[in-house]
Each structure stands twice: as C-alpha cells, then as structure tokens.
Structure 1
Amino acid sequence: MLAVAAAQLGYRTHVYAPETGPANDVSGTYTRGGYYDAGELAKFARAVDVITYEFENIAVAPIEGVALMAPIHPSPRSLAVAQDRAEEKAFVEALGGRPAPWRRVDNRAALDEAIAAIGCPAILKTATLGYDGKGQARIASPADADAAWEAIAGAPAVLEGFVTFDHEFSILLVRGADGAIASYPPPHNEHRDGILARSSVPAPAPVAAQWTEAAALAGRVAEALDHVGVLTLEFFATADGPVFNEMAPRVHNSGHWTIEGAVTSQFENHIRAICGLPLGDTGLTGTRVVMENLIGEDAAGWDAILGERDAHLHLYGKHEARPGRKMGHVTRVTR
C-alpha cells in the first residue's frame, strides 16, 4: 500500500526484505537480503534516495547502519522506543501519558514481585516481538505465574494490569520533516482473539471526548522522537480519560480505512512526509467509514463484497489463508 501510494506520486519503490511478500508485486525493484547482511544493506542504501520501514520487529542496529548511508524516516530512535514495551511505556509516562499499571519482568522472581505489586488479573507480554496477541499470557491468579512464564519462554517481559474501558481507539498522526503535524479522526477499534477486526469513524462519543488529550500526547511523542512519517498510538477510553496501550512508528492497520475514507490516505501522507512534501488533508470523505479485516477464510467471500455498493476491497496477494492471518480488508464508506 505504501508502494502504490508512492507510485501515484511518481516515485519508484525498492523493497528490501529477507523473503518475498505482497509488496514485491507492486514495487519496481526487490532485494532479498537479511537484516544483518551488511553488504546487501549497503548496496541497497546506495541505490535509493530515502529509506522507510513498515514493521517494527526488526533490529535497530542494521537501521542505524543504513542511516549513515541514506536518509531514513522514521529515525532509529523511533524504532528503538516502539519495539520495547518497557521503554515505550516509560517514554510515554515521561511525556505525561498514562499507561496501564505495569512492571518490567526480567526473570521468574520478578514476575512474582510484579504480580504482588499490580495484582490480578494481569497480562504478561514479551518486551519485544509481540503483535496480534502473540507473545502474551493472561494471569488470572498468582497460581498461573508458572504457566505464563513458560508460555513466553522466559523472555524479557512486562506485566500489565487490566484496565476497565469502554472502547479502544487509536491516534494516527503524520509529522513532516519541517515539524508540521496532521492528525486523522480517531477510529474506534474492535478486536477479535487479539487481532484487530474492525475500525470505524466517527468513533463513539466517549472516544470523541478524549480525542484532544490523546492527540496532544501523540504530538508530544512525535516531537520528542523527531519522528518523520506516520506514528500510531493506541488507547483505551476509560472513565478517567485515555489510557495509553502501545505505539507503532509506522502506518497502521487501524488506518487502512483512510485509503478511501480520508482525503489523503495514511500511506500517501507517509510518503509525503519522508519525501519532504506538504502533508495532505486528513478529513473524511463520507459521513461514516468502516474498515473490516479479512482474516483467514474471510477473504473467500471476496466476490460477494465486490457486489456491494460503496464497498472497497483490498486483497493482499498472500498465497495461503491461515487462521489469524490478515488476507485483506474491506472499507465501506457512507456518503
């Protein structure tokens, strides 16, 4: 989707990845190489004018290396903070944000201490490499600690207390190299089995009431990181205001609705930002926009979706449908 947006602005995309994927079908050039392959990375960096990434589960060191050879946005600092749950929570707290109660857990004894401090129920999450509900274990009582520790294979982690909330939502903003910031209306996010199932705008009233506070925090995060490109922060809407959940230094699944539902999509605005272009309008194109992920076999109903008026189908070209795998999405715009 980034490559498509870049092509519409007259740019050519060169993809670097350890294996082939859907982006290869719409990009001009592809290099298959490992993230620690210094030689291939150097050749790639010399062949492009600007570098970006759309996945935070990559090591920081290679990104820091290519940053010495070509401009890269977002910066390695954004990646380093966002990919470590403990660091991102501490970073956001320092800027006035409020995450759920949490403790760093580096060993089995620390887990018991964290449970005693936070209480149960709680969720144990790996500090890195977790997404779509992966790398997580619920703890209903202290008796579950051993099983939870085994479930994450003893990896460095954080323990998070449960939060009572009405809705989940995200703030998607884009920041240009000149410091200009544009923010999208916050989508209401609904999850199924730990995976985003639906995002809709406008969001319900409790979310709308917390939009300004959450967007202000996201802006402070972007400025503190000198972030260039799209930045996403996820929140819980609670009776006491927005509670920070996590951040992503990239375009985000909860912003896929912007392709048809906003004047300028998150993908185009990301390309605009990293290429030094003016940011585009983030306003809605309709009165209501709903994006639904097509997960696993959901994508098999593509032909019926194509028959719907005001439905916009996106299939990603993944070759195998597996449970929990995002195969595409459909966006419905009410005008």
Structure 2
Amino acid sequence: MTPLPPGSTIGILGGGQLGRMLAAAAARLGFDVAVLDPEPDCPASRVCARHLLADYDDPAALEALAGVCSVVTVEFENVPASALEILLAHGAPVAPGPRALSTAQDRVEEKTFLNAAGAPTVDFRPASTEQEAADAAAALGGRVLIKTRRDGYDGKGQAWAASAQDAAGVFRSLGSRPVIVEAPAAFRRELSIIAARSWDGAMAAFPLAENRHQDGILRRSSAPARVEPARAREAEDISRKVLAALDYVGVIGIELFELQDGGLLVNEIAPRVHNSGHWTQDGTTVDQFEQHIRAIAGWPLGAVDARARVEMENLLGEDVLQWPAIVAEPNARLHLYGKREARAGRKMGHVNRVFPLKV
C-alpha cells in the first residue's frame, strides 16, 4: 500500500475503549476517523470525526464507510467477517483481513490454524453433543476445560469439568452449543506478546508482558516480563509464524502459557490491539495503538524497545472511583474510557504505574 497521507480517513468497526484509543492515536498522526458502531454513545464516538450509527453487518452503512475511508480496521474480533468482505467488495482495503477474524472467532479453527502454522497449543477435541464432550474429556485425561467454540471472552462461555463423567453436565451448562474440549496446561505463568506486521511484510514485536487474571478477566500486566532470552526469541518466532500465515496487517495480541519446563504454548490470538499491550502507552516510544495505525496506513513500523518498566492495572466497575487517589500518585498514568455506567466486571479504564527500566 502507498503510505496514506495525513488528512486521510481511517475507518474502525467498533467504538469501545480500543476503538477510542485507536482513534486518539490516529488523530495525533493527522488522520480523520470514522467509527461504525450500533451504540449511540459509544466511547469512540466522542473522539472521532464521524460516527456511523448502525449494526456491523448493515450493508448501507458498510457501503457508506467504504466510500469515505482509505482503509478500515476493527477494534475487536467478533465483528462479522462478512462485514469485511462487503467492505472489500466496495473497494475499501481492510486490515486485518476477514481470514484473521474468522479464524479467531472459532476456537477449534483457531487452534487448528495455530498448529498448522507451527505454533504449539494444548491438545484439544471438538464436541457437538454431550456424548462427544464426554468422549473428548476421556481421551484428554478426564479433567478438561470446555469452552464454547464461538462468542466467549473475558472468561465467559467456559467451565472446567473434573472428569469425563462431568463433561456432559458442563456441556449442558454452556447451552449445549458446539464446544472445544481442551487438555489442561501445566503452566507456571501467563505471558503475551504484542506484534505488528505491515503491508510489505515487515514485522516488529514488543517485549513480553506477564499477566495475571481473576475470574477470567485480565487484572494486571507487568512489562517487560522477566524472561530468558531464549523464551523471548521463541515468542517472537511464534508471532512471526502466525502473522505470516495469516498474511496479517496490523497489531495482534498472542496469549501464551509458559510451561514448567520453560517452553511456550499459545492459548489464543486476538486480531487487534490487546489489553495486555496497554503498558506500551507509557513504556515504549511508539505504543500499540500508534503501531496499529502505522501498519494499516502503510507507514514504517515504530520502535518497540522498552524505555520504562510498567505495571498496568485494569479498573473494573467501581474501581474507577479511585481516580482521585490514582492521579495523585507521582508514577501513575490514568487512562479512562469515557463509559457512562460502572458495572461489576466492566472495564472502565486502566492505570499504568511507571518505574525506571533496570539494566
């Protein structure tokens, strides 16, 4: 792609907090942003040049978006892949492409793709009936994690089965929908890597982050993670394989398990900017949001070296009421999403606590 000049319009499907931060990064680089989102008061609508109020699969809205944008991206992976096909049919470049979304939207397809690309995962089986779920659990050793194949996020749509006998009941509790049955991973910690690829195939990866989850929701990320150089190289190699296999353009988040023996398994991919990459806003010269805009706009990728150590904490629900104390901390940078209502478990913002980088 010929680099887009400042003043071009970038489209974003999705107007949540990630869309808001992408729009802010694009505006700082001189781009206008058009957001398509079905919520009339979505967070991104208040920081963009234009808000198209419509469903993601609305043909007329997608045609209108294609007509005003030089490139269109997504803020979350559950946008229908068919929406990107419609945009492409109207001549709008899209990044990432529909294959990345459709792969990430189905957990069986995702893990099948990862294994084919040379990115190892836990062993798994698909199941569409109670008996198939029980048989899969038995084949994988009894204790398994069962997840709906589609539509799960932040710990939703998944549950543990203690044995093959319990698997049928778990299958029913998840709505008797098609599932993936996963063997447990004997991991010592959860890591993630945020990587980017441009239209010409150039790639860059930020340092790894170490992540802590609670009730399936990311609570804290610390970066750069303290890892052996060999682990960092292994994670970067995984990101290169995934990005190349998808012919991906933009930023991707790849969640990893570090095993007891030090090896890495891929848990899942997120074809978008990622919560565990928020530390880059205050820890690197070019953060993940600007990096994504650079990549999809055909600009050179930015520097990814850490210039500070950052501890990122998500503010969930009424955690956001702590903002007066947070802004009084000398090393804290507060990032709020402009959401009107604080609900339990809802991501309202995050705080980056910044410390000197130890050499």
- Counterpart AA for 1:224: A
User: Aligned ranges for residues 209-248 of structure 1 at < 5 Å?
Assistant: 209-240=230-261, 241-248=263-270
- Counterpart AA for 1:225: L
SS at match of 1:321: coil
C-alpha distance in structure 2 between counterparts of 1:283 and 1:252, whole Å: 18
Aligned length, in residue pairs: 333
In the alignment, which residue of structure 2 is the partner of 1:271?
293
C-alpha distance in structure 1 between counterparts of 2:129 and 2:165, whole Å: 17
Q: Once structures 1 and 2 are overlaid, which stretch shifts more, 32-41 or 263-272?
A: 32-41
2:304 pairs with 1:282: yes
SS at match of 1:13: strand
Unaligned runs of 5+ in 1: none
For 1:6, which of 5, 26, 33 is the aligned residue? 26
User: Aligned ranges for residues 137-216 of structure 1 at < 5 Å?
Assistant: 137-205=159-227, 209-216=230-237
- Counterpart AA for 1:135: G
In the alignment, which residue of structure 1 is the partner of 2:158?
136
User: Aligned ranges for residues 47-62 of structure 1 at < 5 Å?
Assistant: 47-62=68-83
C-alpha distance in structure 2 between counterparts of 1:3 and 1:158, whole Å: 35
In the alignment, which residue of structure 2 is the partner of 1:46?
67
Unaligned runs of 5+ in 2: 1-20
Runs of 4+ deviating beyond 3 Å: none
Shift of 1:3: 0.4
Shift of 1:147: 2.7
Q: What's the TM-score, normalizing by structure 2?
A: 0.90
- Counterpart AA for 2:35: V
Q: Identity across aligned pairs (percent)?
A: 47
C-alpha distance in structure 2 between counterparts of 1:59 and 1:95, whole Å: 23
CA deviation profile, 1:277-330 (whole Å, cap 9, x unmatched): 0110011121x2110000111111000000001200011111111111111000
CA deviation profile, 1:34-68 (whole Å, cap 9, x unmatched): 12211121112112111000111122112111122
- Counterpart AA for 1:58: V
C-alpha distance in structure 1 between counterparts of 2:337 and 2:216, whole Å: 21
In the alignment, which residue of structure 1 is the partner of 2:323?
302
Contact 2:213–2:220 (CA under 8 A) maintained in structure 1: yes
- Counterpart AA for 2:32: R
C-alpha distance in structure 2 between counterparts of 1:57 and 1:108, whole Å: 26
Q: What's the TM-score, normalizing by structure 1?
A: 0.97
Shift of 1:216: 0.4
In the alignment, which residue of structure 1 is the partner of 2:99?
77
Q: Once structures 1 and 2 are overlaid, which stretch shifts more, 181-190 or 40-49?
A: 40-49
User: Aligned ranges for residues 305-320 of structure 1 at < 5 Å?
Assistant: 305-320=326-341
Contact 2:211–2:222 (CA under 8 A) maintained in structure 1: yes
In the alignment, which residue of structure 2 is the partner of 1:67?
88
C-alpha distance in structure 1 between counterparts of 2:167 and 2:186, whole Å: 22
Shift of 1:18: 1.4
C-alpha distance in structure 2 between counterparts of 1:227 and 1:262, whole Å: 23
